[in-house]
Amino acid sequence: MIRFTDATILEETVEENFLIPSEKFRLHNHSDLLSLMDKIVVLPDMIGFLCKVDTSAPSGANQSKREILHICMEEGIILRLTIWDALADSFATKFREIDEKNIVIIATSILPKSFGGKLCLSASSSTKIYLNGDFEVVKDFRARHNVHPEIKDGESKNNDPNEYSIAEILSFIFHEKEHVKEFFCKAKITEVILRNGWNYISCSKYFRKMEKANSSLNCSNCNDSHSVGVLRLEVEGEDTVQDGRDRAPTSILNIVEKTYKFQVKVTPYNFRAKYQSFTVS
Protein backbone atom coordinates (compact mmCIF):
# COMPACT_ATOMS: atom_id res chain seq x y z
CA MET A 1 0.00 0.00 0.00
CA ILE A 2 1.27 3.48 -0.89
CA ARG A 3 -0.15 6.37 1.12
CA PHE A 4 -0.32 10.00 0.04
CA THR A 5 -0.82 12.93 2.41
CA ASP A 6 -0.83 16.73 2.04
CA ALA A 7 2.91 16.65 2.68
CA THR A 8 3.62 14.18 -0.14
CA ILE A 9 5.96 15.47 -2.87
CA LEU A 10 6.24 13.74 -6.26
CA GLU A 11 9.49 14.06 -8.17
CA GLU A 12 10.45 12.42 -11.41
CA THR A 13 13.52 10.20 -11.23
CA VAL A 14 15.69 8.78 -14.00
CA GLU A 15 17.00 5.92 -11.90
CA GLU A 16 15.98 2.44 -12.92
CA ASN A 17 15.13 -0.43 -10.60
CA PHE A 18 14.63 1.99 -7.72
CA LEU A 19 13.96 -0.01 -4.58
CA ILE A 20 11.11 1.23 -2.40
CA PRO A 21 11.46 -0.09 1.18
CA SER A 22 8.51 -2.26 2.12
CA GLU A 23 6.53 -1.54 5.28
CA LYS A 24 3.74 -3.79 6.51
CA PHE A 25 2.47 -1.54 9.29
CA ARG A 26 2.76 2.06 10.39
CA LEU A 27 2.11 1.70 14.11
CA HIS A 28 1.06 4.66 16.26
CA ASN A 29 1.19 5.02 20.03
CA HIS A 30 -1.45 6.57 22.28
CA SER A 31 -0.07 10.11 21.93
CA ASP A 32 -0.12 9.80 18.14
CA LEU A 33 -3.73 8.64 18.18
CA LEU A 34 -4.71 11.57 20.40
CA SER A 35 -3.12 14.02 17.96
CA LEU A 36 -5.07 12.40 15.09
CA MET A 37 -8.42 12.43 16.89
CA ASP A 38 -11.23 13.65 14.56
CA LYS A 39 -8.64 14.43 11.85
CA ILE A 40 -8.86 12.28 8.74
CA VAL A 41 -5.27 13.04 7.75
CA VAL A 42 -3.99 9.49 7.99
CA LEU A 43 -5.56 6.20 8.97
CA PRO A 44 -3.16 4.86 11.63
CA ASP A 45 -2.32 1.30 12.64
CA MET A 46 -2.10 0.14 16.26
CA ILE A 47 -0.80 -2.82 18.26
CA GLY A 48 -1.60 -4.04 21.75
CA PHE A 49 -2.83 -6.87 23.93
CA LEU A 50 -6.45 -7.91 23.52
CA CYS A 51 -7.94 -7.70 27.02
CA LYS A 52 -11.68 -8.03 26.48
CA VAL A 53 -14.34 -8.36 23.79
CA ASP A 54 -17.91 -7.07 24.05
CA THR A 55 -20.34 -8.46 21.48
CA SER A 56 -23.53 -6.65 20.47
CA ALA A 57 -25.83 -8.80 18.36
CA PRO A 58 -28.23 -7.02 15.96
CA SER A 59 -31.66 -6.55 17.55
CA GLY A 60 -33.49 -5.59 14.35
CA ALA A 61 -33.38 -5.96 10.58
CA ASN A 62 -31.52 -2.66 10.17
CA GLN A 63 -29.13 -3.22 13.08
CA SER A 64 -25.47 -4.04 12.49
CA LYS A 65 -23.41 -6.60 14.36
CA ARG A 66 -20.83 -4.89 16.52
CA GLU A 67 -17.76 -5.99 18.45
CA ILE A 68 -15.99 -3.71 20.92
CA LEU A 69 -12.37 -4.70 21.43
CA HIS A 70 -10.58 -3.53 24.59
CA ILE A 71 -6.91 -3.16 23.65
CA CYS A 72 -4.10 -2.50 26.13
CA MET A 73 -1.47 -0.42 24.35
CA GLU A 74 2.24 -0.26 25.07
CA GLU A 75 1.80 2.65 27.48
CA GLY A 76 -0.59 0.56 29.58
CA ILE A 77 -3.60 2.59 28.40
CA ILE A 78 -6.68 0.60 27.39
CA LEU A 79 -8.60 1.86 24.35
CA ARG A 80 -11.82 0.59 22.80
CA LEU A 81 -11.96 -0.25 19.10
CA THR A 82 -15.39 -0.79 17.53
CA ILE A 83 -15.69 -3.00 14.46
CA TRP A 84 -18.81 -3.74 12.44
CA ASP A 85 -20.61 -6.25 10.20
CA ALA A 86 -18.35 -8.41 8.00
CA LEU A 87 -15.21 -7.36 9.88
CA ALA A 88 -16.90 -8.24 13.19
CA ASP A 89 -17.88 -11.65 11.80
CA SER A 90 -14.36 -12.28 10.51
CA PHE A 91 -12.86 -11.28 13.85
CA ALA A 92 -15.26 -13.51 15.80
CA THR A 93 -14.28 -16.50 13.65
CA LYS A 94 -10.54 -15.90 14.13
CA PHE A 95 -11.01 -15.26 17.83
CA ARG A 96 -12.83 -18.58 18.38
CA GLU A 97 -10.05 -20.45 16.61
CA ILE A 98 -7.29 -19.07 18.84
CA ASP A 99 -6.62 -21.23 21.87
CA GLU A 100 -4.02 -18.91 23.37
CA LYS A 101 -4.77 -16.21 25.93
CA ASN A 102 -1.85 -13.82 25.35
CA ILE A 103 -3.33 -12.38 22.18
CA VAL A 104 -1.47 -9.57 20.43
CA ILE A 105 -3.75 -7.66 18.08
CA ILE A 106 -2.86 -5.38 15.18
CA ALA A 107 -5.58 -3.17 13.71
CA THR A 108 -4.84 -1.21 10.54
CA SER A 109 -6.38 1.92 9.01
CA ILE A 110 -8.47 2.85 12.06
CA LEU A 111 -10.37 6.06 12.73
CA PRO A 112 -9.47 7.91 15.97
CA LYS A 113 -12.61 9.74 17.08
CA SER A 114 -13.78 11.65 20.13
CA PHE A 115 -16.83 10.47 22.05
CA GLY A 116 -17.82 12.30 25.19
CA GLY A 117 -14.46 14.06 25.11
CA LYS A 118 -12.56 10.75 25.15
CA LEU A 119 -10.53 8.97 22.50
CA CYS A 120 -12.44 6.12 20.86
CA LEU A 121 -11.41 4.07 17.86
CA SER A 122 -13.56 2.86 15.02
CA ALA A 123 -12.88 0.62 12.05
CA SER A 124 -12.83 2.07 8.53
CA SER A 125 -13.67 0.28 5.28
CA SER A 126 -9.93 -0.50 4.93
CA THR A 127 -9.39 -1.88 8.43
CA LYS A 128 -7.82 -5.32 8.79
CA ILE A 129 -7.43 -7.25 12.05
CA TYR A 130 -4.49 -9.57 12.78
CA LEU A 131 -4.47 -11.80 15.88
CA ASN A 132 -1.11 -13.22 16.99
CA GLY A 133 0.22 -12.61 13.48
CA ASP A 134 3.62 -14.02 12.53
CA PHE A 135 5.18 -10.58 12.11
CA GLU A 136 8.43 -9.12 13.41
CA VAL A 137 6.53 -6.25 15.05
CA VAL A 138 4.52 -8.79 17.07
CA LYS A 139 7.68 -10.61 18.17
CA ASP A 140 9.32 -7.30 19.10
CA PHE A 141 6.20 -6.23 21.01
CA ARG A 142 6.17 -9.46 23.01
CA ALA A 143 9.91 -9.18 23.67
CA ARG A 144 9.48 -5.67 25.09
CA HIS A 145 6.69 -6.82 27.41
CA ASN A 146 7.58 -9.69 29.63
CA VAL A 147 4.43 -8.76 31.56
CA HIS A 148 1.46 -9.88 29.47
CA PRO A 149 -2.02 -8.70 30.42
CA GLU A 150 -2.99 -12.24 31.36
CA ILE A 151 -3.12 -13.85 34.78
CA LYS A 152 -4.42 -17.07 36.20
CA ASP A 153 -6.02 -17.38 39.59
CA GLY A 154 -3.44 -16.42 42.21
CA GLU A 155 -0.70 -15.52 39.72
CA SER A 156 0.83 -12.08 39.11
CA LYS A 157 3.49 -11.16 36.58
CA ASN A 158 4.63 -8.01 38.42
CA ASN A 159 7.81 -7.73 40.49
CA ASP A 160 5.62 -7.71 43.58
CA PRO A 161 3.62 -10.99 43.44
CA ASN A 162 0.85 -9.38 45.49
CA GLU A 163 0.25 -6.48 43.07
CA TYR A 164 -1.66 -6.55 39.80
CA SER A 165 -2.08 -4.00 37.03
CA ILE A 166 -5.52 -2.92 35.77
CA ALA A 167 -4.73 -4.71 32.48
CA GLU A 168 -4.05 -7.93 34.38
CA ILE A 169 -7.29 -7.63 36.34
CA LEU A 170 -9.28 -7.04 33.14
CA SER A 171 -7.61 -10.04 31.55
CA PHE A 172 -8.51 -12.15 34.59
CA ILE A 173 -12.17 -11.13 34.18
CA PHE A 174 -12.10 -11.93 30.48
CA HIS A 175 -10.40 -15.34 30.72
CA GLU A 176 -11.41 -16.86 34.05
CA LYS A 177 -14.70 -18.31 35.22
CA GLU A 178 -17.07 -16.12 37.21
CA HIS A 179 -16.16 -15.92 40.89
CA VAL A 180 -15.26 -13.43 43.61
CA LYS A 181 -11.60 -12.49 44.03
CA GLU A 182 -9.65 -9.62 45.59
CA PHE A 183 -6.48 -8.03 44.19
CA PHE A 184 -4.01 -5.40 45.30
CA CYS A 185 -3.37 -2.74 42.67
CA LYS A 186 -1.05 0.27 42.77
CA ALA A 187 -2.49 3.22 40.83
CA LYS A 188 -2.10 6.96 40.45
CA ILE A 189 -5.21 9.12 40.89
CA THR A 190 -5.32 11.67 38.08
CA GLU A 191 -8.87 13.00 38.42
CA VAL A 192 -11.91 12.89 40.68
CA ILE A 193 -15.22 12.80 38.79
CA LEU A 194 -18.22 13.80 40.86
CA ARG A 195 -21.01 13.42 38.32
CA ASN A 196 -20.94 9.62 38.69
CA GLY A 197 -20.68 9.55 42.49
CA TRP A 198 -22.86 9.89 45.54
CA ASN A 199 -22.58 11.03 49.16
CA TYR A 200 -24.63 11.02 52.35
CA ILE A 201 -24.36 11.26 56.14
CA SER A 202 -24.42 7.80 57.71
CA CYS A 203 -24.64 6.43 61.22
CA SER A 204 -21.15 5.61 62.49
CA LYS A 205 -22.47 2.34 63.97
CA TYR A 206 -24.75 0.93 61.25
CA PHE A 207 -23.48 2.82 58.17
CA ARG A 208 -27.08 3.56 57.16
CA LYS A 209 -28.22 6.93 55.88
CA MET A 210 -29.40 9.22 58.67
CA GLU A 211 -32.73 10.98 58.24
CA LYS A 212 -33.31 14.60 59.10
CA ALA A 213 -35.73 15.16 61.98
CA ASN A 214 -36.31 18.78 62.93
CA SER A 215 -32.85 20.16 63.67
CA SER A 216 -31.06 16.82 64.13
CA LEU A 217 -30.18 13.66 62.23
CA ASN A 218 -31.51 10.34 63.47
CA CYS A 219 -30.61 6.74 62.65
CA SER A 220 -33.66 4.50 62.11
CA ASN A 221 -31.67 1.45 63.25
CA CYS A 222 -30.37 2.56 66.62
CA ASN A 223 -33.03 5.22 67.34
CA ASP A 224 -30.41 7.33 69.07
CA SER A 225 -30.91 11.07 68.67
CA HIS A 226 -27.27 11.54 69.68
CA SER A 227 -25.87 9.30 66.93
CA VAL A 228 -22.63 10.52 65.40
CA GLY A 229 -22.83 11.13 61.67
CA VAL A 230 -20.06 10.15 59.25
CA LEU A 231 -19.75 11.37 55.68
CA ARG A 232 -19.78 8.46 53.21
CA LEU A 233 -19.16 9.08 49.53
CA GLU A 234 -18.23 7.39 46.29
CA VAL A 235 -16.22 9.06 43.53
CA GLU A 236 -14.87 7.81 40.22
CA GLY A 237 -11.24 8.03 39.17
CA GLU A 238 -10.29 9.07 35.63
CA ASP A 239 -7.17 9.78 33.58
CA THR A 240 -7.94 13.36 32.54
CA VAL A 241 -7.72 16.72 34.30
CA GLN A 242 -10.69 17.98 36.30
CA ASP A 243 -11.98 21.37 35.18
CA GLY A 244 -12.85 22.49 38.72
CA ARG A 245 -16.52 23.19 38.08
CA ASP A 246 -17.63 20.51 40.54
CA ARG A 247 -16.85 20.75 44.22
CA ALA A 248 -15.49 17.98 46.42
CA PRO A 249 -14.16 17.81 49.98
CA THR A 250 -10.56 18.97 50.22
CA SER A 251 -9.56 15.58 51.64
CA ILE A 252 -10.73 13.95 48.40
CA LEU A 253 -9.13 16.48 46.07
CA ASN A 254 -5.82 16.07 47.91
CA ILE A 255 -5.45 12.50 46.60
CA VAL A 256 -5.14 13.69 42.97
CA GLU A 257 -1.71 13.10 41.38
CA LYS A 258 -0.74 10.73 44.19
CA THR A 259 -0.10 6.98 44.00
CA TYR A 260 -1.86 4.56 46.34
CA LYS A 261 -2.20 0.84 46.81
CA PHE A 262 -5.83 -0.24 46.48
CA GLN A 263 -7.63 -3.43 47.33
CA VAL A 264 -9.84 -4.21 44.32
CA LYS A 265 -12.76 -6.59 44.67
CA VAL A 266 -13.92 -8.44 41.55
CA THR A 267 -17.51 -9.71 41.82
CA PRO A 268 -19.76 -11.76 39.51
CA TYR A 269 -21.14 -8.45 38.21
CA ASN A 270 -17.76 -7.62 36.64
CA PHE A 271 -17.92 -10.77 34.50
CA ARG A 272 -21.21 -9.62 32.95
CA ALA A 273 -20.83 -5.83 32.84
CA LYS A 274 -20.08 -3.99 29.58
CA TYR A 275 -18.51 -1.03 31.43
CA GLN A 276 -16.01 -1.99 34.12
CA SER A 277 -15.94 -0.24 37.47
CA PHE A 278 -14.28 -1.56 40.60
CA THR A 279 -14.94 -1.10 44.30
CA VAL A 280 -11.68 -0.35 46.08
CA SER A 281 -10.63 0.08 49.68
Residues 159-174: tens digit of each pLDDT: 454 677 777 777 777 6
Q: What is the mean pLDDT of residues 184-209?
A: 68
- pLDDT number for residue 164: 76
Residue 155 has pLDDT above 60, yes or no: no
Residues 242 and 189: beta-carbon distance below 8 Å: no
Residues 49 and 69: beta-carbon distance below 8 Å: no
Q: Encode 134-149: b = buried (16+ Cβ within 10 Å), e = exposed.
A: eeebbeebeeebeebb
Residues 266 and 169: beta-carbon distance below 8 Å: yes
The region, left, alpha or beta by phi > 0 then psi within -120 to 50, assigned to residue 202 is beta
- Which DSSP helix (H) or strand (E) runs through 80? strand 78-84
Residue 13 has pLDDT above 50, yes or no: yes
Q: Running DSSP on this structure, what letter comes out for residue 190?
A: -
Question: Bridge partners of 260?
Answer: 187
- pLDDT number for residue 123: 95
Confidence of residue 184 (pLDDT cuts 50, 70, 90): confident
- pLDDT number for residue 130: 94
Residue 67 has pLDDT above 80, yes or no: yes
Residues 219 and 205: beta-carbon distance below 8 Å: yes
Angstrom distance (rounded) from CA 111 to CA 36: 9
Residue 117 has pLDDT above 60, yes or no: yes
- pLDDT number for residue 1: 62
